[in-house]
Each structure stands twice: as C-alpha cells, then as structure tokens.
Chain A
Amino acid sequence: MALLLFLALALVALLAAVGMVTSRNAVHSALFMLVNFAVYAIFYIMLNAQFLGVVQVIVYAGAIVVLFLFVVMLIGGEIGAVRSSLRRYTYAAALILGALFVAMIGLGIAQTISTDQTVAGAPAAGGVEAIGMALFTTYLLPFELASLLLLAGMVGGVARRYKALDED
C-alpha cells in the first residue's frame, strides 16, 4: 500500500519536475515547483519525519515559491526566453548524459535492493524533539556553521544592493 502510494506520488513529483524545467513560462515553472515541493512534504511524513514535512510546506512551498513568483512578476520574466540555435544540441546531449547518469545511479540502487540490504540510517523519530536533539548536540558544529552560511548570503545580498560608486 505504502509502496503504491509512493510510486504514484513519485510519478507526480517527476512530472512536476519535468514540467518545471521544460515550461517556457516562468510562472508555470514556479507552480510546477510548488507541486514538486508539496509531494516532497508528503514523502517526509511517510518517512516518519513529520517536522521536516511541515517545514517543507511552510518554508519551501510557502515562502520560497511565493518569493519566486513575486520576483518573476516584478521583472516580467513570465515571457519565455528566445531559444538559441545551440540549444537543440544541448538538449540532445543533456538527455543522453542524463539517461546515463540515471542508469549509473539506478545501477547502484538496484544492486542495493537486489542484495536485500536495508537502507541504513533511517531515523526512528522525526519529531521536533528528535531534530532538536540532533541539531543541538551531535550536529552542533554544522548547525552553527550554517549560520555563517546564512550570514554570508545576507552580507552578499546587502553588498549587491549597494549602488555603484558613481550613482552614490
């Protein structure tokens, strides 16, 4: 049952991802991404990671996609870009390489499944408490480092905002 549900949802996620990449209208792309994110939220919940599922909906499906839509509308990016002649070959090459990539990773996953090996490391509980414990004890250092990462992004945003010298 769970497997069937997963496969069905996975198909949705996959189609949404393809739609997002191929869509020529940026607003459509963003909406496809929303679908994709939502399916991921369900995956998290199915994997017993309820907290992540909720955060996924609030942060990604909520905040980030809305932000994307705003930006797209502000800069008027909903009109598709002109295709260059190079693109057709790029597409073909990318498709072939993508297929090879999927094949290689698939090979790895298939081998793991065929040897009947359970995937290691699945968390026992994914609630707030478990995540909190992990973040503030074992993974304290990367958690703190992540704050530096955010700081770098923020400072970068500020620096980009400044007008250039002669416009000052």
Chain B
Amino acid sequence: MNLSSLNWNSLLPELVIVATSLIVLITAVVGKVSRVDRIARGHALAVVTLIGLLIAAGLTIMQLSQPASDFMGMVQSDALSHYLNLVILLAAALAVLLAWDYLGRFTYSFSEFYSLLLLAVAGMMFLGKSTELITLFVSLEILSISLYILTGFNRHQLASAEASLKYFLLGAFASGFIVYGAALLYGDTGSTWFSDIAANASGGFLTLAGFALLLVGFAFKIAAVPFHMWTPDAYQGAPTPVTAFMSVGTKAAALVALFRVLQSAVSAPYETWAWALAILSLLTMTVGNVAALRQTSIKRLLAYSSIAQAGYMLIGLVAGTVLGLQAMLFYLFAYAFMNIGAFACASLLESDDWSELQDASMANARGLFSRQPLLATALAIFMFSLAGIPPLAGFFGKLYLFDAAIDAGWLWLALVAVINSVISAYYYMRVVVVMFMEAPDESTRVRLPIPDSAILAIVIAVLGALLLGILAGPSFASLGQAVVAWRF
C-alpha cells in the first residue's frame, strides 16, 4: 500500500476544515493581546472560520457529481455525504455569525471555541461518510467531545456547566452501547466494514443485538424518544449559537450515518428495523410536541420542538426509499434554515445578565412587533415554517416526507405525523400571538440592540426558508437526481 494510492481528494473538504481548526487554534498561543484587542481577534478568527467553511463548501459542491470510495473502503463520498456536508457547513456558518457578537459577552477563549466548532464539523462530516464501524465510532466521538465542551462554554452560568455535564455523562453512556454493538457485530462477522457485515452476518441473535445497540447510539444523537432526556437541558443550557449548531448538525450527521448503516450494513429484514424506527418516530414526535405545549421559555420550547422535528425526519428513514431519502435531505436543509433562524431570534431575546440563566422567555417576546417589527416578523416566519404552513420550506419538507411515507405504505405513520403537526401548530402559534397580539411589558419596552452579524444570519435563514418553499419543486428534483445514483 502506498499513500499516493489513497484518494485524498475525496476527503478534501474535511481536511480543509481540520486545517482551519488548527490555524484557528494556533493563534491562541501566538503573541500576547490586550483585553480590547481580544474581541477584535475574536472577529478575525470568526472570519477565518467562515473562510474555511466556505472553501469546504466550495470543494463539496465541486465534487457533487463525483462519487468516490476510499481509504480501504472506510469512507464513501457520494451524493448523500455531499448534501450532508452542505447542511453541516451551512449550520456551522450560521452559528459562527451568531457567535460573532454573542461569544464576547462571556468569554475570551475565541480560538478554542472556533477550533472546537470546526472539529465538531469535521467529526460530523466524517461520520456521514464512514462506511466502517471504527471510523464511524471515532468520528462520532470527535463531534461528541467537541460538543460536550462547547455546551459548557459559558462559565458564568451554572446551567451551562450542568448541561455540559449531563450531556457528557449520558453521551458516554450511549457511546458505550455503540461500542458494544460494534463489538458484537465484529464478533459475529469478523469485520468492521459495512459491506462485509452485511455479507457475513449470521443473522442470529448476536447480529440483531449488535444492530439494536448501534441504533441506540444514533437514536441518542438524533434525540429520539426515549433517548432524548438530555436534550432540553443541554439545548437550554448551552450558549445559543452552539444549541443552534448542534440541533441541526448532529441530527443531520446521525440521520445520514444511520441511513448508511441501515442501507448497507443491516442484514435484518426491512420490516424489522423499519417498524422499530417507525415506533421511535411516533414516540419522538408525540412526546416532543406534547412536552413543548407548556414551555414558557422559547429556547426550551425550541428544544422540544427539535425533538419533534427529529421524529418527522425519521419518517424518511422508515420509508427507506429514494423518495424517503430525498424528502429527508430536503427537510434537513429546510430544518437548518428555520431552526437556526429561530434560535438566532431567540438569542436576541435573551437578557444581558450573564450571572443568571440567560433565557429567552416568552415574556421577553411579548409585544415584540411593536418594538422590533422585523425581528418579530422573522421569528414568525420561522415559527410558521416549523409549523409547516405554506408556502414556506417546512411545509414542503413535511409534504414530501408524508408523501414518501404514504408511497412506502406507511399511511398510519403519515396520519400520526399530520396530527402531530396540528398539535405543534398550537405552541408555534402561541409564540406568534405573544409577539403580535399582546401588549409589551413596561420592563421589556426597550429596543434590544441587534448586531449586524446576527441580522445577516437571520436574513440568510429567512431567505432560505422562503426560497426553499417557493423553489421547492426544482430543489427537490435536483436532490432527486443526485440521490437516485445511490444504490438501494
């Protein structure tokens, strides 16, 4: 074997991200910078990070039509991983824009923050490409560890540290199951490659138990019920840019990796795993939506909402068809825009008092329209999109998912999902009503300053949520062309 025979090109986007992460990290130890300059340096680092993300996105787009498998078949670059990369990079870029101003309010550790963020991005990208269990596990751990730390990045708040610790302990627990599952599969088949596992599996209890344990790890990352317990605490406690990023990136990477495992490694019959996923999906959307009904914090509400959204996306996996995959990828893009947009607006509603839980409570949003009409309108658009109201991206995402489910014979699941959408409309609309119909409190009458970077992030997200809806037909079709190449 020689190094030049490895197709490094197929990993170029990931390598760019890792290199950017190292560059960002090195600046932490170069020179001594005064207090004031630190903020400026933070902004410079954010720019470097954005450039890295952009280059990686450019490389991914250039590779869109070139499927490649390499490193002894440990990674697979194909339409699936390319689109996943774009979702992750988009989420990361929006998160950087949010962090731009937000971060400086509680820390000076900019280079650590951005390099960890980039490492998490790299982990997610590798996760989506891996076709081998060890690579898969290590990638999963890279993103997990980075996110545990990012979650606890706000040292002013007990809630942040608490969220980090909970996420870490439960995450380690879940990782244990993944490793155990991988070990069982290795014991059964003598290989860690998906293709070998599919070919050599005995199909006995050992294989099935191995798959079940593997599924646990993914379900934890997706925050599927009953593996979701960490989510509300971690999402609420983490700095909001981190929440926005991980709520989209982690789910996307784990869903795609799970899809790959299901399609290329699992030898169990379709009905077996599809029913397991269908029940997970049912539980996830129902529990997420019902629990969200009573939340008084917008951030926590969004955390529960993102659990429910994961339930919808699982439908694409349940269908297991081209249509299902296409719908799931479409939904991931839509979700990236609307969910990060919603968190971005929420981050602007947080109080400035960093000694307490900085929470975007519903009361802060009261009468927002009469204070900041554009911010209120943007948040309303995200809420409408999340609730699935036409002609926004979320509506078409759901439409395609439900259509894929019906097409694959899961009518009951589609019906449950529709009922869930109706339930969810209640709490999404409540936010809108609070902003537009209620009079503002005297205490919240002040106009909050909105940094330019956050405006940019919100505008991008609004445009995404709108255009993906208005251009739903062509974008769905273009996903389809790429995905059809995927072998089922």
Query: Are B71 and A141 in contact, CB atoms less than 8 angstroms apart?
Result: yes
A155 to B285, CA, bound (A): 36
Q: Name the segment of B84-92, B132-140, B233-241 touching the other chain.
A: B132-140
Query: Are B152 and A108 in contact, CB atoms less than 8 angstroms apart?
Result: no
Query: Are B116 and A104 in contact, CB atoms less than 8 angstroms apart?
Result: no
Query: Are A142 and B134 in contact, CB atoms less than 8 angstroms apart?
Result: yes
A30 to B155, CA, bound (A): 29
Q: How far is the CB of B166 from chain A (nearest CB, A)?
A: 16
Query: Are B138 and A159 in contact, CB atoms less than 8 angstroms apart?
Result: no
Using Cβ atoms and an 8 Å threshold, which residues of chain B touch A138?
Answer: 72
The A82-124 residues at the B interface (CB cut-off 8 A) are 104-105, 107-109, 111-112, 115, 117, 119-121
Query: Are A155 and B205 in contact, CB atoms less than 8 angstroms apart?
Result: no
Query: Are A111 and B204 in contact, CB atoms less than 8 angstroms apart?
Result: yes
The B184-224 residues at the A interface (CB cut-off 8 A) are 184, 186-191, 200, 202, 204-210
Query: Are B119 and A151 in contact, CB atoms less than 8 angstroms apart?
Result: yes
Q: How far is the CB of A146 from chain B (nearest CB, A)?
A: 6
Q: How far is the CB of A166 from chain B (nearest CB, A)?
A: 8
Whether, in the assembled complex, B171 has its beta carbon less than 8 Å from a beta carbon of chain A, the answer is no
B208 touches which of A108, A119, A137, A141 (Cβ 8 Å): A108
B116 touches which of A107, A137, A142, A152 (Cβ 8 Å): A152
Using Cβ atoms and an 8 Å threshold, which residues of chain B touch A105?
Answer: 184, 209
Chain B, interface SS category: helix
Using Cβ atoms and an 8 Å threshold, which residues of chain B touch A139?
Answer: 134
Query: Are B155 and A152 in contact, CB atoms less than 8 angstroms apart?
Result: no
Query: Are A165 and B190 in contact, CB atoms less than 8 angstroms apart?
Result: no
Query: Are B200 and A120 in contact, CB atoms less than 8 angstroms apart?
Result: yes
A121 to B200, CA, bound (A): 11
Q: How far is the CB of A64 from chain B (nearest CB, A)?
A: 15
Known A108-B210, A142-B74, A165-B108; further 19 A-B contacts with Cβ < 8 A:
A104-B205, A108-B184, A108-B206, A112-B204, A120-B188, A121-B190, A140-B72, A141-B72, A142-B138, A152-B123, A152-B146, A155-B119, A156-B145, A160-B149, A162-B107, A162-B108, A163-B155, A165-B106, A168-B108
| 28 A-B pairs with C-beta separation under 8 A | A104-B209, A105-B209, A107-B205, A108-B204, A108-B207, A108-B208, A112-B204, A112-B205, A121-B186, A137-B1, A138-B72, A140-B6, A141-B74, A142-B134, A145-B135, A145-B138, A148-B18, A148-B142, A149-B145, A152-B116, A155-B116, A155-B149, A156-B112, A156-B146, A159-B112, A162-B155, A163-B155, A166-B156
